[in-house]
Structure 1
Amino acid sequence: MSSTTATLQDIASVDDFLNVAATETVPLFEHLEFEFLLEYDVFAPGERGRTRVHQPPDLFRSFLHCYYKDIYGTRPVTRELQHGLVWYYCGLDKPPSRDTIDRFLTDLEHVIDDVFDRLVEQAARRGLLDSTYSIDSTHIEAIQYNDAASWNYDPTADEYYYGFGCTIVSTGAKIPIAAEFTQAKQADQETAMRVTRDALAVKEPTWMLGDSAYDILDWHDLLLSAGVVPVAPYNPRNTDDPKDIKYRVEDRITEHSKNVQLKQSILDETYNHRTGVERTNDAVKDCGLGHVRARGRVHARTEVLVALCLRLVIAITNYERGNDPGCEKLRE
């Protein structure tokens, strides 16, 4: 723990500080750059001349603290930040009002994608991305009062749920690097292509893994053209003449290179690593993605992106402390 944090702890008793559960989340902000939030005009005072009492980086820290403690929604977040030292250790000058929290969440909607991208860049600079990417979709449950959500079928769980979906590309130690909020769990081809391009823009891997839902010709061709080997099980669908292959890339590689051959044993071994994205999904759900409390699609999407940001923050912080970045909780 830094000397600055130790000095702050001397201000009040450790017992009181532990009671408001802020000691764990203070180090979340020691090594991370949030000041870039000040660059966005969306956080500037409105035309009516209201002054900005709280800075965007401090309010974002406050949201991360609350999400880490499983506290969601404007009312619960506001209550948490009324506690004695919580708002102080988050960098606020005083407890924020509910209007402030609600207004910040609304403003955050406009820039949350950029915030997520900036955190991915910080993870990449620390070498937390590896040469294998995995893509998968997961379900997101919504509150019954969210009229923008709908009933969807989750084939993995073989059950229906009320909510949305999210397609995530992950790598390394449960590191999400690209994502898109969707109306249902299963993403369409356009979303799959867009999220894949976003992931490739971060850093081009050697492998990209997906389940049989990604047996898409355009998806394979996009990756092969970028020098990335896609590994997704071949899905014969309704064809009367199925190919004698296990993975679609075995067929597509001949369209791109006559001299390259892929051993099925290597593809099998590589595909076994796809479970990493499922572990990433579980880790992000522990950060708040599993059940969004917001009403409306836009607020729900913002909550999902904040959860993804929190997962990145935890991974980077653990790395900076010399601990396993894959840990889902902070380690001293």
Structure 2
Amino acid sequence: MSTSSNALRDVTSVDDFLNVAATETVPLFEPLSFEFLLEYDVFAPASRGRTRVHQPPDLFRGFLHCYHEDVYGTRPVTRELQHGLVWYYCRLDKPPSRDTVDRFLTDPEHVIDDVFDRLVKQAADGGLFDSTYSVGSAHVEAIQHNNAASWNYDPTAEEYYYGFGCTIVSTGVKIPIAAEFTQTKQADQETAMRVTRDALAVDTPIWMLGDSAYDILEWHDYLLAAGIVPIAPYNPRNTDDPKDTKYRVEDRIKEHSEDVQLKQSVLEETYNNRTGVERTNDAVNDCGLGRERSRGRVHARTEVFLALCLRIVVAITNYERGNKPGCEKL
């Protein structure tokens, strides 16, 4: 850790120090420990070469600060972390170089999912989940110079965009609990099943809500077998002989169980809660989702998961401070 004299070299008065120390991102680092990042082999010191100057937990704090302050991209992040005491209260020993910032977006490629999962578990342990899960997709815009991205159509916004997609399962107070980075906004069946399994690995809800894109027999049967009620609008375009039903689950229950009955009014009332995933997407957008400024798929994916992680950290921090965990900022 730097000495006080080094840390305060850019501060000209006590007022300046207090203003910086009172910055709203400081509480982000209080309720959670990010030291578990040191457990990953990808961050282990190299047997040869330069010693790692900046520790992964400190760089992670630096990115959380920047994303909370709407600072994205390797150059802007590097500039932000050059400011007096910003790097200090992120617990960095000194301002990182752009190469260091760039490398930190590359190193976690294979572990960022696990980092996200650990934070999700802490949210679950804190009681921030409820009995309803919702799944939906968000578009992730990218810079034109990112050759790994492509043009996609967003049916919700009814417009084309250049970038990627992200499928998110959410619950409770805008908490993302499972996610999958995709090439396009619309998830395929394999992605839908994978993100559903990931969500159920955390906890078991009563309801699982999806739009008509989740009118998938495998998805419904998998959830029903797990004791969960899936609700997705029936899509008559999936068959040449459409059924007279509004939700696919009505047909699945009728086909497989004579004892279970669900009123359509109950299904409709419950399905109205699916707007929760849209609110979660908006909250994660506030944390940087869809503002990728990096080149390549690896950096874009890491930035998406950093935004997801920040959303969970903000919710946990607000909860621990006695504030509403659904608030999108501290």
Q: Tell me: higher relative CO, structure 1 or 2? Use CA pairs within 8 A at least 6 residues apart.
A: 2
Deviates more, 1:117-126 or 1:102-111: 102-111
Structure 1: gaps spanning 5 or more residues:
1-7
Partner in structure 2 of residue 76 of structure 1: 76
| Contact persistence 2:141–2:292 (CA under 8 A) | yes
Count of equivalent residues: 321
Q: Measure how far apart 1:102 and its partner are.
A: 1.5
Q: Deviations over 1:12-33 (max 9, x none)?
A: 6344554x69711111011112
Partner in structure 1 of residue 97 of structure 2: 97
Partner in structure 2 of residue 37 of structure 1: 37
Instruction: Give the letter aligned to residue 13 of structure 1.
Output: V
Q: Measure how far apart 1:120 and its partner are.
A: 0.1
Partner in structure 2 of residue 183 of structure 1: 183
**Matching of residues 286-325 of structure 1 within 5 Å:** 286-325=286-325
| Contact persistence 1:22–1:65 (CA under 8 A) | no
For residues 268 and 17 of structure 1, do their structure 2 counterparts lie closer, same or farther at Cα, with a shift above 3 Å needed?
A: same
| Contact persistence 1:28–1:317 (CA under 8 A) | yes
**Matching of residues 264-279 of structure 1 within 5 Å:** 264-279=264-279
Partner in structure 2 of residue 108 of structure 1: 108
**Matching of residues 77-156 of structure 1 within 5 Å:** 77-156=77-156
3-state DSSP class of the match of 2:163? strand
Q: Measure how far apart 1:244 and its partner are.
A: 1.3
| Contact persistence 1:22–1:86 (CA under 8 A) | no
Instruction: Give the letter aligned to residue 61 of structure 2.
Output: R
Partner in structure 2 of residue 329 of structure 1: 329
3-state DSSP class of the match of 2:152? strand
3-state DSSP class of the match of 1:164? strand
Structure 2: gaps spanning 5 or more residues:
1-7
Q: Distance in 1 between matches of 2:253 and 2:60?
A: 45
Partner in structure 1 of residue 5 of structure 2: none
Partner in structure 2 of residue 4 of structure 1: none
Tell whether 2:242 aligns with 1:242.
yes
Q: Distance in 2 between matches of 1:322 and 1:302?
A: 30
| Contact persistence 2:21–2:89 (CA under 8 A) | no
3-state DSSP class of the match of 2:201? helix
Q: Distance in 2 between matches of 1:54 and 1:251?
A: 57
Instruction: Give the letter aligned to residue 173 of structure 1.
Output: V
Q: Distance in 2 between matches of 1:17 and 1:76?
A: 24
3-state DSSP class of the match of 1:23? coil
3-state DSSP class of the match of 2:237? coil
Q: Deviations over 1:262-284 (max 9, x none)?
A: 01110010000000000000110
Q: Measure how far apart 1:101 and its partner are.
A: 1.4
Q: Distance in 1 between matches of 2:216 and 2:316?
A: 34
3-state DSSP class of the match of 1:292? coil
Deviates more, 1:95-104 or 1:183-192: 95-104
Q: Deviations over 1:154-212 (max 9, x none)?
A: 11111111111000000000000000000000000000000000000000100000011
Tell whether 2:9 aligns with 1:13.
no
3-state DSSP class of the match of 1:109? helix
Q: What fraction of aligned residue pairs are identical, expressed as a percent?
A: 83
| Contact persistence 1:17–1:85 (CA under 8 A) | no
Q: Measure how far apart 1:254 and its partner are.
A: 2.7
3-state DSSP class of the match of 1:254? helix
What's the Cα RMSD here? Answer: 1.7
